Structure 1
Amino acid sequence: MNTATEQRAAAPTDEEQPKTPLQRLVSAQAFQILGVLLVLVVLFSIAESDAFLSVNNLRNVVVNTSILAIIGVGMTFVIITGGIDLSVGSVLVFSGVVAAKVMEALGGEGVGVSLVGALVACGSGTLWGLFNGVLVARAKVPPLIVTLGTLGMALGGAQIVTGGIDLRGAPTVLTDTIGFGRLFGQIPYLSLIALLVVVVGAVVLHRTRFGRYTYAVGSNAESARRVGVKVDRHLIGVYTLAGFCAGLAGILNLAFYASTTIAGQSNTALNVIAGVVIGGTSLFGGIGTIAGTVIGLFIPSVLQNGFVIMGVQPFWQQVVVGAFLIAAVYVDQVRRAAATRGARSRRSSSSRFSRPSGARRKESR
């Protein structure tokens, strides 16, 4: 084999050439899901343009997604590490119940009482997340089992405290400002809080050491440990973050509904996980973005809203979201398999043409 032939063989193929930023953007699953979301918006706009495209309706879609987006930020970190958290819906309920009880004991009204309730809800969620993290990282219990257990514990605890009856009567200042208040009369404060959490979560994930360690643990926990990452401590931090997000969502849920909605959160965890995975976060760990999560969470909200406007049974939403979830996981598996084959091919080519020239001449004979 002559030198020119070797150079041509060693040169990367078109598939192996580095991708431009635009190519990476277009090939990203989050970008493709954004296209699906836009298609859904266009279809519902054509079918029911007056109702679907109204300002009030679009605002409702955003508000309905806001609480899920806050939980989705924490869930994205968890799933990137290769874990799962099924308890977020129950932690939301428990945090709201505890906050409601504390605020009731303090008099039930006023800004100070509302602030204490918010701190109690966030603190309660944080403790549940810490409990999950310790069991996963220290006790080495699988995340699925841990969070399935705490799902029942948190929900059962909320029902014990309330006797299974929803608590009502959140402070008026809480419901009037956070629940239904709007900046300039148009932008819901609830959605602004969700936007702030999403932005902070994106910065932490993509621009800080904590975020880099999250990807490293999800890609290969043992390799991360060998280069100095304290994997157990980081996992505890990630699950604690997810618990904090669920606790924050609990006080916001209480402000919006003026009720603890004990029976209304049974599908919250599954809806959030579906949105995170549809948005491009891999269940196998190591891949994911906050932006993709937000896009993925908007799909169920748009579907539900569009079906209601068109008079379609809302049960179809679960069917379509389930199909999206299966498709997203399948696409992720295909991409991972293709990436693995490409890496093996490059290693094979590299090892072949890095051998001594005498060995290659002998092989050619």
Structure 2
Amino acid sequence: MTVTTPAKNDPGIQESPAAGFGKQPLGKRLIGANTFWIALVLLALVLVFTAIAPAEFATLFNLQQLLIETSVLLVLSVGMTFVIITSGIDLSVGSVLIFAGMVAGKTMEALSGGNASNAGWGVITVGLIAAVVAGTVWGLINGFLIAVAGIPPLIVTLGTMGAALGAALLLNNGSDVRSVPTALNQQLGYGTSFGVVPNLVLIAVVITLIGAWLLHTTKFGRYTYAVGSNAEGARRAGIGVTGHLLKVYLLTGFLAGIAGFLSLSYYNSTTISGHTSDNLNAIAATVMGGTSLFGGVGSILGTVIGVFIPAVLKKGFNITHVQDFWQMIAVGAVLIAAVWFDQRRRRRRNSR
């Protein structure tokens, strides 16, 4: 059975195709799309900072650093996009990232006799598997409690956020793992492909493309939109809503595990204190990219743009010597504007 998202939840070209939408003129479709407007905001920011500091902002090195700094958050945000489209939320991804990185670090440390610095790729591969399994287990716990036990996502993931962070701290007595294979840091964290493309960015791009393919071209993606639009309607149409929600949270945990391993490779440490707000950053990036908190609407392209807006603001403010506090204000304003625009669009659509 093929199920598509109802047309009423498809106001932009980035969402699942709706019947009749393709008949609209291209210009009207672009103007009505969330992705179009948020992309204009990002473009305006790039142009402003390029005009203010062209010698510092518009450089290859700055672009590389910008891409590297957003890679881990982008992987988290891809998973968050699926969750929010189903009208859910996951506050635990930052803690799961920390836990997965800690499990990977401790695993590689144990296999190397307490010092993983000289470990080879066999040990690194086992560390990767451990991180992915650790993240997926937390995704399974979230999915079971939300989809099967029927507990609200906000409560479940608020609880697992604290539990995953506490478990990570217990694994190493509250301190970071700092013994990381040199090969992992040099070849993945700081390595490049084709001479200029950081390997960390390459992996994030591949994951993002797979996420876009999964969301926009497969039955899994169509079911995700349908569940977020109307869970009861999707159930009556023959979709296993419980099983699908379980898979969505599994996917989010899986990606958080990968993000934890990528972070470990780049920072050469678990950097517990550096990820405490990753959950909120992922939610903010996803919502700024046009994914509706009410469910049924969203796109991976929008999420990519949403990830880069705060990153460009931070980089631009640092280069132009503007206090970081202004970045927080600017990101907050963009986030509120994105939610306001979404509510306004929903009210206009429902009044028809």
TM-score (norm 2): 0.91
* Distance in 2 separating the partners of 1:17 and 1:178: 42
Shift of 1:51: 0.5
Would you say 1:225 and 2:230 are equivalent positions?
no
Match of 1:302 in 2: 312
- 2-structure distance, mates of 1:66, 1:21: 32
- For residue 166 of structure 1, what is the aligned residue in structure 2? 176
Q: Are residues 1:238 and 2:238 paired? A: no
User: Do residues 324 (structure 1) and 334 (structure 2) align?
Assistant: yes
Match of 2:70 in 1: 65
Post-superposition shift, 1:255?
A: 0.0
**CA positional deviation for 1:138:** 0.9
CA displacement at 1:238 relative to structure 2:
0.2
Q: Paired residue for 1:135?
A: 145
Instruction: Flag the structure with higher helix content.
Output: 1
- The CA deviation at 1:95 is 0.2
2:32 is matched with: 27
Task: Give yes or no for the alignment of 1:83 onto 2:93.
Answer: no
Matched to 1:164, the amino acid is G
Counterparts of 1:109-128 in structure 2, within 5 Å, are: 109-128=119-138
Structure of higher CA gyration radius? 1
Give the corresponding residue for 1:288.
298
**In the alignment, which residue of structure 2 is the partner of 1:262?**
272
Provide structure 1 residue ranges, at least 5 long, that are not aligned to the other structure. Answer: 1-15, 343-365
Deviation of 1:184 after TM superposition, in Å, equals 2.4
Pairwise CA RMSD: 1.2
Q: Deviations over 1:312-350 (max 9, x none)?
A: 1112211111111111011000101111111xxxxxxxx
d(CA) in 1 for partners of 2:325 and 2:255? Answer: 28
Structure 1 stretches of 4+ with a deviation exceeding 3 A read none
Number of equivalent positions: 327
User: Aligned partners of 2:22, 2:262: CA distance in 1, in Å?
Assistant: 47
Tell me by how many angstroms 1:123 deviates.
0.8
Where does residue 38 of structure 1 map in the other structure? 43
Per-residue CA deviation, residues 150-198 of structure 1 (Å, 9 max, x unaligned), is: 0000101111111111111211111111100001221000000000000
- The offset of 1:18, in angstroms, is 4.6
Superimposed CA distance per residue, residues 114-150 of structure 1 (whole angstroms, 9 cap, x where no aligned partner): 1111111011101101100000011111100100100
Alignment of 1:193-232 (within 5 A): 193-232=203-242
Aligned-partner Cα distance in 1 for 2:30–2:248? 27
Report the residue type matching 1:142 in the other structure: P
Distance 2:325 2:268 in 1: 26
**Separation of aligned partners in 1, 2:306 and 2:234:** 29
5+ residue gaps, structure 2, are 1-20
Matches of 1:17 and 1:240, distance apart in 2 = 33
Distance 2:84 2:25 in 1: 27
Q: Distance in 2 between matches of 1:32 and 1:210?
A: 27
Structure 1 length normalisation: TM-score? 0.88
AA matched with 1:19: Q
